[in-house]
Structure 1
Amino acid sequence: MRLLFLSPDFPSAVNPSACIFVQTQALELKRLGAEVEIHAPTPAVLPGMARLKPAWRAYTQIPPHYEVEGVRVARPRYLAFPGENLWGWPHHFKALSLWANPGHHYDLIHAHFAHPEGTLGLWLKRRWHKPLVITLHGDDANTYPQQSPHYRHYFEQALNQADLILAVSEAIRQRTQPLTKRPIVTHRVGLRLPPLEQKPDKAALRAELGLPPDKFVLLFVGTLWKYKGVLELAEALRRLDDAEVLAVFIGEGPLRESLASTSRTGIRCLGQQPNPLVRAHMAAADAFILPSYREGLPTVVVEAGAAGLPVIASMEGGTPELINPQTGFPLEAISPEAILKALAQLRNHPAEAIARARRLQAHVYQHYDATQNARTLLGYYQRLIEGQTPVVAQISDATGLLPGQNPTHPKREP
């Protein structure tokens, strides 16, 4: 089976965490015998412009072709514009690099995100006469359709013309299902999970990572933007004023410079880090926090859950499918006050925090195993390639509920 993945980004030496979930899925499919090729165009940078912005300089350092564990990755340059997903038509420019490709060596196209990748996928579907799968990941379904009539047009077109639509969370599926008469299937993000009985040596990891052995380490992983709740978290750390706490931020963004500590609470900003190092910090930390204003299905919370880490998180997007009072510490609001309250509850009741983390870990291992999810995906692909309608089954337990969720209202809309 030969697959073409369309993705807006992909991990590289420059940005090792970019769309890491696409890489995880591609590698699992490769291990199961599929041939996977990635098409993830990179914005072109005009001569001299690389000196103006670090992001532009980074684009110039991404090679046009490379391989990851046998998966071929194409990063052709295309003409990009500010706000292109909302107001532009980047799929036209991205299509140029595929114009001469006859497509006969692919059996199926899988586009990650509805637009522009899904729209590009529709063009390839018509041109190559190949089935198209589109995965909705977050803002492509939750935010952008309400912000631009251009985007909404392309979004609804994708929902009605792709052969199969997947959503990474039940919240996304519930939000988008009313826009089309065709079924949207919840297919959750998977991770390569080590054997559950493997427990890393926390003290040794801290020594290796340069983390203090005796402090409470609070970890944040994500882009340092306002919508991730970074400002509220920084203010909470300032008010906490506790020399026994070290907050570690992994990620890049415009708010990095504003995270310098202004109280006794320690703050360490590590910038972008490769995924193995992110997981090492999760294994070494005492708690994880994500006070985000919007999410699809946050992969970092799945990773923190797999590591057995107590989690504090806002109840946005697909996060309630992972976090509730039985499996973590939901934020009552995205505010410094709510963050401090949840953090105090977690620290004051360590046994309960461990119990919740174990319930979350068990849930992640049951429902977010990348190999299991890739096998299900291969079944969908095979039926589409054979011209049949996929037998779509939700990847969940009989109820789809986490411990403690109300069976009458199992999910909360974002």
Structure 2
Amino acid sequence: MNQLQVLMLGPSLEQNGGMATVEKLIIKYSLPQIQIQHINTHDEGSIAYRGIVFGKALATFLWKLSSQKIDVVHIHISDGGSIFRKAICCVVAFIFDKPVLMHTHGAEFQVTYAKLPRRVQQFLSKVFQRCQGFIVLSESWQNYYVLNLDLNPKQVIILPNPSELPTEVPDRKNRTQISLVFCGRVGQRKGTFDLIKAFANLPDHQRKYTRLILAGDGEIEKAQQLAASLNLADQVTFLGWISSEKRDELLLQADVFILPSYNEGLPLAILEAMGWSLPVIATPVGGIPELVISNQNGLLVTPGNIQQLSEAMELLIENETLRLYLGSTARKNVEPLDIRNCSVRLADIYHSLSQFN
């Protein structure tokens, strides 16, 4: 059988964040009959630098489409400027009559889209309607895109983010110190400041044997200042952005994972934490409530409700039996999302779309 040639467009594989992580997992675990080439359409830096990166990406894209046999174009899209960059890429693929698989990740796509002029919305809708496949991370996002961009439900594919599950998880019984862990961009959208305030509200006796660890880039200095103002400087640790190896070490030692976001797609960090058999405290935004179910594999709190967040933390710190039960169930629930299963599903999607070529 000939290899299926897939051209993947998305952010730099060296970039921080969930999109690049998903791209790397897809490439690493692609089946033998799938050959994936990646084109970097975005990288961190100045506006001028990002413009140069995208310009080079378009040139490479045009060259490959005109000189190579490409069966499917797989485009990863977020929010903000990514929407326009990827719309341009779609139009180029359409010109060459190539089937397009759009893969949405944007936690705040709906925010960006709602602010656009009506004519721009109509243009984007027309572009996305022409994509042969449109991957969304959850049922709630499927409903959003079908209703707001008038996509055909048959064109929309629900494919939750995959995760690389560890083969073994630690025994977390009889821990003398409890570690609460946050992984993500430090800032308002991820609820980082709410988390620090909620931690400050814990009873004194609990804080004596509990520590809060935050891993991720973003507004670290602002968060550190908040922690210091609440007399938490010695109890809250900021690691900055960490590698996947360091992340695994962190989750190995953790007891509870917390992500009190205001907007999300389907955070890879939650999937990774559940894979490590950790109970999750999160908010019912984006695709999260389709994965995290209160009192089954975690606890859900209202975004911005610091009291609820404190109470959820207090409960899991105090109740080891509940903590271990929720974590064990979380691991079982996330096993179907192992990247090996996702690779098989994605290969099927590629083959079905290649029929349009």
TM-score by length of 1: 0.74
- Correspondence for 1:252 among 202, 210, 217: 217
Is residue 32 of structure 2 the alignment partner of residue 25 of structure 1? Answer: no
* 8 Å contact kept, 2:189–2:262: yes
- The match for 2:126 is 157
Deviation digits for residues 281-321 of structure 1, max 9, x if unmatched? 11210100000000001111111111001110011110001
- The match for 2:115 is 147
Amino acid in the other structure paired with 1:98:
F
| Matched position secondary structure for 1:180 | coil
Deviation digits for residues 119-174 of structure 1, max 9, x if unmatched? 13322322322111001223364322112237634531333110111101111111
What is the CA–CA distance in structure 1 between the aligned matches of 2:307 and 2:261, rounded to whole Å?
A: 15
- The match for 2:301 is 331
- The match for 1:51 is none
| Matched position secondary structure for 2:37 | strand
| Matched position secondary structure for 1:138 | coil
Could you tell me how far 1:117 is from its partner in structure 2?
A: 4.8
| Matched position secondary structure for 1:41 | strand
Q: 1:201 to 1:362 in 2, by over 3 A?
A: closer
- The match for 2:160 is 188
- The match for 2:323 is 353
- Correspondence for 1:120 among 88, 94, 117: 88
Could you tell me how far 1:33 is from its partner in structure 2?
A: 3.6
Is residue 196 of structure 2 the alignment partner of residue 234 of structure 1? Answer: yes
Could you tell me how far 1:38 is from its partner in structure 2?
A: 1.3
What is the CA–CA distance in structure 1 between the aligned matches of 2:59 and 2:140, rounded to whole Å?
A: 35
What is the CA–CA distance in structure 1 between the aligned matches of 2:231 and 2:355, rounded to whole Å?
A: 62
Tell me the percent identity. Answer: 20
- The gaps in structure 1 that reach 5 residues or longer are 44-54, 61-76, 81-89, 204-212, 389-414
What is the CA–CA distance in structure 2 between the aligned matches of 1:186 and 1:18, rounded to whole Å?
A: 16
Could you tell me how far 1:93 is from its partner in structure 2?
A: 7.8
Equivalences for residues 369-384 of structure 1 within 5 A: 369-384=338-353
- The match for 2:255 is 286
- The match for 1:84 is none
What is the CA–CA distance in structure 2 between the aligned matches of 1:336 and 1:348, rounded to whole Å?
A: 18
Q: Cα RMSD over matched residues?
A: 2.8
Could you tell me how far 1:103 is from its partner in structure 2?
A: 5.0
Amino acid in the other structure paired with 1:356:
L
- Correspondence for 2:313 among 343, 353, 368: 343
Amino acid in the other structure paired with 2:110:
N
Deviation digits for residues 195-226 of structure 1, max 9, x if unmatched? 3xx234779xxxxxxxxx84211100000121
Could you tell me how far 1:91 is from its partner in structure 2?
A: 6.9
What is the CA–CA distance in structure 1 between the aligned matches of 2:128 and 2:19, rounded to whole Å?
A: 25
- The match for 1:404 is none
What is the CA–CA distance in structure 2 between the aligned matches of 1:334 and 1:38, rounded to whole Å?
A: 38
Is residue 180 of structure 2 the alignment partner of residue 218 of structure 1? Answer: yes
* 8 Å contact kept, 1:138–1:172: no
Could you tell me how far 1:384 is from its partner in structure 2?
A: 1.8
What is the CA–CA distance in structure 1 between the aligned matches of 2:84 and 2:198, rounded to whole Å?
A: 37
Count of residue pairs the alignment pairs up = 336
Amino acid in the other structure paired with 2:330:
L
- The match for 2:40 is 40
Amino acid in the other structure paired with 1:2:
Q
Could you tell me how far 1:354 is from its partner in structure 2?
A: 1.4
Could you tell me how far 1:92 is from its partner in structure 2?
A: 7.2
Is residue 135 of structure 2 the alignment partner of residue 166 of structure 1? Answer: yes
- The match for 1:319 is 288
Higher relative contact order (CA 8 A, sep 6+): 2
Could you tell me how far 1:352 is from its partner in structure 2?
A: 1.5
Is residue 356 of structure 2 the alignment partner of residue 387 of structure 1? Answer: yes
What is the CA–CA distance in structure 1 between the aligned matches of 2:352 and 2:302, rounded to whole Å?
A: 44
